[in-house]
Structure 1
Amino acid sequence: MNILFVCTGNTCRSPMAEALMKAKEHDAEIKSAGIFAGANQPIATNAAEVLKELGLTFDNTSTQVDEELLEWADVVLSMTESHKQTLALQYPEFEDKFFTLKEYVYIKEDQWRHLTDLYALLEEKRAWILSQVEEDLSEAELEEHLLKELADEIDAIRKAEQELPNLNIVDPYGQNKDVYRRTRDELDETINALVKKLSSKNK
């Protein structure tokens, strides 16, 4: 399995994720890249130092996401939902490969299916309401009417979303070493769960 970790500049989170993942036992091939990465930038000093505390190094330089990397990857694991959305806009043909790291590790398929079904139901009912509404309603009146009619659906979506974990890895860029250390540990915990998931898939 080929795994591509993605963040913004490929100097903090995704290189730490690559180094942490490569240090664990699994059969996956690992690379990292940044959506807006400059060419051949070194890993951030604090990122390198907190990896060194675990006896790890990242010897590569920054790489920008491109079609060749996305073709190579079986799965693309971003650090935030914003990264995932940006990738989907720029490379819609690869959208089925895009997940946030935490989403891929922690969210069960039936949870996503339930939430997707709720959104589909909301849009279906919204379209029906709009087809029935009187044309002379002002924009504010229409908004108020929709919120009232869709209150149950909106509440169900809100409850389903509250059951999901925060899917973003904290960005330590420009912060002190303690922040980098917390991000490293958050990544390490999540990647341990990723390795466990991959291992169970291979059995």
Structure 2
Amino acid sequence: MNVLFICTGNTCRSPMAQALLQQKSSVNVQSAGVFASEGAPASEATQTSLSSIGVTCQHQSQPVTTELLDWADLILTMTMNHKETLLTNYSQVYDKTYTLKEYVLLDGEFTWEKLKNAYRRLEEKRATIVYEKDQMQTEQQMRAFLREEQDEIDRIEREMPNYDIADPFGGNAEVYQETMKEMEKYIDLLIEKIEA
């Protein structure tokens, strides 16, 4: 299996995830950044955090490319924004792109399905109102008609877990250690899932 981790600059979170997965499994793994330059090393704080648990990080940053995306069987982003950026620019990766946390959390797919269905109901009702009334409603009227559906969407979104791993960039050593501990937890869950 080929796993590609994606973050912003490819110097903190995604190289951390790559190094941890390489250390703990035999999966082929690379990382890249949606706004990365070519050839920068992992940040010093990332390297220090990893070396504190005996993981070495020989890394050079790279931007996302079509070739990398084609190489990957599974693309795991650090945030929902990274995922949305990829899907906006590379629609062909839709079926294999998730946030790391989204992919490993068991209820994620069920929650996403509920949210997609709620949005679908909202749009169907909106279209019905426009068609039946044969005129545009004021924003206030439309909101009143769609209140029930919007309340359901708001409720589901409040229940959803946060699928982002915070960017430690610019933080102190403690911030990087916390990011690494969180990352290690999700990498361990990832290994369980892909090696099952």
CA distances 1:72-94 after superposition (whole Å, capped 9, x unpaired): 10111000011011111111122
Report the equivalent of 2:67.
68
CA distances 1:88-121 after superposition (whole Å, capped 9, x unpaired): 1111122222111111111443222222111111
Report the equivalent of 1:184.
180
For the residue of structure 1 that corresponds to 2:195, the secondary structure is: helix
Q: How is 1:1-203 mapped onto 2 (pairs within 5 angstroms)?
A: 1-25=1-25, 27-106=26-105, 107-133=107-133, 135=135, 142-200=138-196
Question: What is the deviation of 1:170?
Answer: 0.5
List gaps (5 residues or longer) in structure 2. none
Distance 2:61 2:184 in 1: 20
CA distances 1:142-161 after superposition (whole Å, capped 9, x unpaired): 21112111111111112222
Question: What is the deviation of 1:134?
Answer: 6.3
Checking the alignment, whether the CA contact within 8 Å between 2:21 and 2:27 is kept in structure 1 is no
Checking the alignment, whether the CA contact within 8 Å between 2:130 and 2:136 is kept in structure 1 is no
Distance change in 2, residues 1:82/1:108 (3 Å): closer
Question: What is the deviation of 1:195?
Answer: 1.2
TM-score (norm 2): 0.93
Distance 1:74 1:112 in 2: 21
Question: What is the deviation of 1:191?
Answer: 1.1
* Matched AA of 1:69: L
Distance 1:136 1:97 in 2: 39
Distance 2:173 2:136 in 1: 59
Question: What is the deviation of 1:172?
Answer: 0.7
* Matched AA of 1:72: W
**Percent of residue pairs bearing the same amino acid type:** 43
List gaps (5 residues or longer) in structure 1. none
TM-score (norm 1): 0.90
* Matched AA of 1:147: R
Distance 1:198 1:109 in 2: 16
Distance 2:184 2:174 in 1: 15
Distance change in 2, residues 1:108/1:80 (3 Å): closer
Question: What is the deviation of 1:130?
Answer: 2.1
For the residue of structure 2 that corresponds to 1:37, the secondary structure is: coil
Q: CA RMSD in A?
A: 1.5
